[in-house]
Amino acid sequence: MPYTVIPTAIPDVLILEPKVFGDERGFFFESFNARDFAQATGLDVNFVQDNHSKSAQGVLRGLHYQIQHPQGKLVRVVQGQVFDVAVDLRQSSATFGQWVGVYLDAQKHQQLWVPPGFAHGFVVLSETAEFLYKTTDYWYPAHERSLRWNDETVGIVWPWSGQPLLAAKDAAGLSLAEADKFA
């Protein structure tokens, strides 16, 4: 099996650890294979968009979601290290309002599956980080929402002291009580 699936505290959020082949020349691994992903996770997803961001240390991106055209995301870091977070916004879920956080870095090559219905974000812990992710639906700016990164009800414990660097839309994120949610 090319992936080892590691469960998280929220069963629908999965860590995928690819099989990496390495020697003195470097390494090789399949970062995505639809057949193997489906076999390892039991999920049949269709990714339609790839995104790539580079951010400086202390940048916090998120917590983003689309209220219509919700996106599932398969995320990974190819340079540096981040603390990646998913928050369950599905009101019918037993884990509604809960969050899970995972350290992702370029050395371990782990990926995180964030299902539709979750807010997602990360903070950069290294000097810089390059972050890649696949999405199951396209970006629709009119449907994009931001959950407040430091909402006390959600209570995310970020491994970053001080004020992170935020985009204006992230600084204006709504609390869980105010935010649009999924059924």
Catalytic positions, written as ranges: 64, 133
| Residue that has been written with the tokens 């959600």 in this structure | 154
Question: Structure tokens of 132?
Answer: 């890649």
Interior angle at CA 48, CA 68 and CA 130, nearest 5: 100
- The Cβ-side half-sphere exposure at 165, using a 13 Å CA radius, reads 8
Cβ 38 vs Cβ 103: under 8 Å: no
Which structure tokens are listed for 151? 């909402």
